[in-house]
Structure 1
């Protein structure tokens, strides 16, 4: 990262043009790997100190998060037994936290959690690594002969660690990001590729959290497209562009980028100390579920259908049963209050049984707290022209069919809580593609129906990625992304991120 580039006079001119009008061969570019002058060596030492400070501060935050998580879990345990003593809890926390923190630091380092902010993973990797810490700690305790009346300490500490560590790191990212932004730091990037791919990657970087990336412009191998970015010229102009300074990285936004030109591009960028990144293609995403088939004359990889079977299904189903049971128990007061509010404010049943296609398109009764008046289904046909959603979905922001209590329940997704019973019945999963009403299902295109290869979910990537702010086709693509990259840690991450998404009411109506 760097501040805004200085004027050309301060940066110096391109050495290849410093011929004072005398014709001759261009001078070679200066390789950043050459010996550096004393001033630059001093600045690099400052950069090393800054990196060390970043690693130490993140290590300290992780230590606080792990220690606080174990302390909280033990405190609740002793409070439940009415035997809480602060000194005892502190001593046991120190005993368990030393090993847990060591494993956490090692696994976090392996996942590049202490790297530069531009490459540091987010919540998904935090949850996955902490889950691995719990498994390693549990195995170590069992092998060491430790005995426990229950294993609450492990999964309780995991839950609090996810909350504390992710919150501390989120605060760190926001604070340091604000300070860097206030200081004028940003990563200035150039997109290189063909027109369509450049536009897609640029849109994704602008729509998502690009980590402080400022797109300076693009270099297109095809006729220059009109994508709202500034054209910087052709690939032959790359050396001149980098020589002018102010570029931190070059992003190759084309899966079919010619290999010889890619090798030359990488070498020219590295000579200038510019990072090179490659945006993934569809095949790179699909290869995550490819399985190698040995014994073939040509190495082949099979792309298996994205369904949950065998160990994956058993693991996901066990997770669903455990978490849904606990949530029903903990949220029973909320369920009771919501049920009374529905009953006392409007006529009709408390629970609305919405018949929706489930796995394989087989219909099932999806339970919801009733949020509409009794004649809502009959009135919908008259409101089709007022539909505000794209694609197959029917949504109206100020739907006249919704009761006052229903608006509150929908605003915070409380109307979905009865679907925990659907999870216990086996009709739904905690996390998965959202089940659509029959009316919406009938309007789906063929390629949309791939989302029905698995059990529908109470929450999913829709809920944590913008909800109804997104175009319907983008929502379906999120379902496909979930199917391709499913893991227990991804399910846990989505569940954790659903809470702030619901509380912030992002995209909900």
Structure 2
């Protein structure tokens, strides 16, 4: 029978409809009120008991206010929203929210001239941090348990879009999607190695939905990921979606906003149009102010706590090779403003003069110069670079405000002179002591991978993201992968 003669038949397959419902990720909206109550009790009750035991005035009012602010912070940052499949939780989100809570309460208590001692208040809120972390961990375990069976995805679209989607989905495992087949539009060949059970006609056809439903049934797919394009435009996409939904198959439409975090996208509608409002990157407000405070405080505490280690390294550098202890170099900071960056010297004194002779040996495919076996690096320098200890003097730059604890790496002026417009956007924020580049492979990354990571951070950073990156930095430094 020609496929176009009975579009409705695949839609009536009871097994398809039953598998769609059974395969959908488990969602329990009824548990969210329980989560809110548990977090509220985990923070408010211990806070009240600690404040009362310490003899603080208005302990109940203070604990109640802290609980309300805590719930507000968590709700505003989307912690109580049902997480979409394949969207992993951010690292260390609860400690980030807790720090934001402390900042908000500090402002409120200062404005209201509250009689509660700030030190006692912070101590009283620590049990809430532990409770929130425990509850968030339990929710992640529950979600991971429900995601053990990944969504089985059938990718539909023109060849180029299908290849890109399949390549990205199969290159990483931190999501809940597994590509089981692809259904291209037209006769163009696919470069990705996935089963191709059929093809859609280059022009809209009456059997589009039945073809997709048949392919999804054959490969037990429970989600159609549609990649829009000229051959799969508005009206055809609408008709296809109707048919797939009638047949019991869930549909996701791939957006071209690949480097925009989901938290910054707000869907809305107007005059029958579906709009995706993109929230501007964080440039002003509470979070940038909190980031600046964390930077300065963290740098000052780090310099004090690490003073013995810094002194030991300085002595070792001075004794093992001729030349100064520190290497000071002009780098480009936020908005392309130059500053002098500090590092422990890891190369011979005339390293800059030798660089010209090593240009052809550059192992980086962009303007940044990197060599795995750079002959200019001293024996101690290799150890310092592998452990990233040579970067510690940059805490001085963070304390001065030239750098941040987390951000893109600061480039050299000659590198910036070769940047295109896209690459210049890396300079929209302060450079960092660590960042996505540091925890994702460092010098093992290609130039375009480095730029993509930096641009993602520039547009999507938050205090919680910074805390997660600082935690991941410890593992990256211990691993030493890509450091040379």
Stretches of structure 2 that go unaligned for 5 or more consecutive residues are: 201-207, 267-274
Aligned to 2:227: 253
Bigger shift: residues 280-289 or 438-447: 280-289
Q: How does 1:100-249 map to 2 (within 5 A)?
A: 110-112=78-80, 115=83, 118-123=86-91, 125-126=93-94, 129-134=97-102, 147-151=115-119, 154=122, 161=129, 185-222=149-186, 223-235=188-200, 236=208, 237-244=211-218, 246-249=220-223
Q: 1:381 to 1:152 in 2, by over 3 A?
A: farther
Contact 2:331 2:340 (8 Å CA) reproduced: yes
SS of the counterpart of 1:379?
helix
SS of the counterpart of 2:317?
helix
Stretches of structure 1 that go unaligned for 5 or more consecutive residues are: 1-15, 18-22, 75-86, 292-299
Kindly indicate whether structure 1 or structure 2 has the higher relative contact order, using CA contacts under 8 Å at least 6 residues apart.
2
SS of the counterpart of 1:483?
helix
Aligned to 2:342: 367
Q: 1:290 to 1:486 in 2, by over 3 A?
A: same
Contact 2:17 2:247 (8 Å CA) reproduced: no
Q: 1:188 to 1:473 in 2, by over 3 A?
A: same
Q: 1:412 to 1:51 in 2, by over 3 A?
A: farther
Give how far 1:123 is off.
Answer: 1.8
Question: How large is the Cα RMSD of the aligned pairs?
Answer: 5.2
Q: 1:338 to 1:115 in 2, by over 3 A?
A: same
Whole-angstrom CA distance in 2 between matches of 1:310 and 1:135: 12
Whole-angstrom CA distance in 1 between matches of 2:17 and 2:264: 45
**1:406 is aligned to 2:378:** no
- Deviations along 1:145-195, whole A, 9 cap, x unmatched? 86444458549967994x9966996798689859975xxx33211222233
Aligned to 2:398: 423
Aligned to 1:29: 11
Whole-angstrom CA distance in 1 between matches of 2:397 and 2:166: 40
**1:500 is aligned to 2:468:** no
Bigger shift: residues 466-475 or 307-316: 307-316
Aligned to 2:312: 337
Aligned to 2:204: none
Contact 1:65 1:168 (8 Å CA) reproduced: no
Bigger shift: residues 344-353 or 274-283: 274-283
- Deviations along 1:72-101, whole A, 9 cap, x unmatched? xx9xxxxxxxxxxxx98xxxx999999878
- Deviations along 1:54-81, whole A, 9 cap, x unmatched? 98998999799979x99xxx9xxxxxxx
Whole-angstrom CA distance in 2 between matches of 1:303 and 1:114: 20
Aligned to 1:11: none
Contact 1:33 1:271 (8 Å CA) reproduced: no
Give how far 1:400 is off.
Answer: 2.5
SS of the counterpart of 2:11?
coil
Contact 1:366 1:419 (8 Å CA) reproduced: yes
Whole-angstrom CA distance in 2 between matches of 1:259 and 1:354: 54
TM-score, length of structure 2 as denominator length: 0.72
Contact 2:428 2:458 (8 Å CA) reproduced: no
- Deviations along 1:285-320, whole A, 9 cap, x unmatched? 4999899xxxxxxxx999999794687765543443
- Which of 419, 425, 436 is matched with 1:461 structurally? 436
How many pairs align?
Answer: 455
TM-score, length of structure 1 as denominator length: 0.69
Whole-angstrom CA distance in 2 between matches of 1:342 and 1:167: 44
Bigger shift: residues 123-132 or 468-477: 123-132
Aligned to 1:12: none
Whole-angstrom CA distance in 1 between matches of 2:173 and 2:429: 29
Whole-angstrom CA distance in 2 between matches of 1:40 and 1:453: 45
SS of the counterpart of 1:123?
coil
Give how far 1:446 is off.
Answer: 4.5
SS of the counterpart of 1:227?
coil
Whole-angstrom CA distance in 2 between matches of 1:482 and 1:171: 28
- Deviations along 1:35-58, whole A, 9 cap, x unmatched? 98xx999x89xx97x969998998
Whole-angstrom CA distance in 2 between matches of 1:366 and 1:25: 67
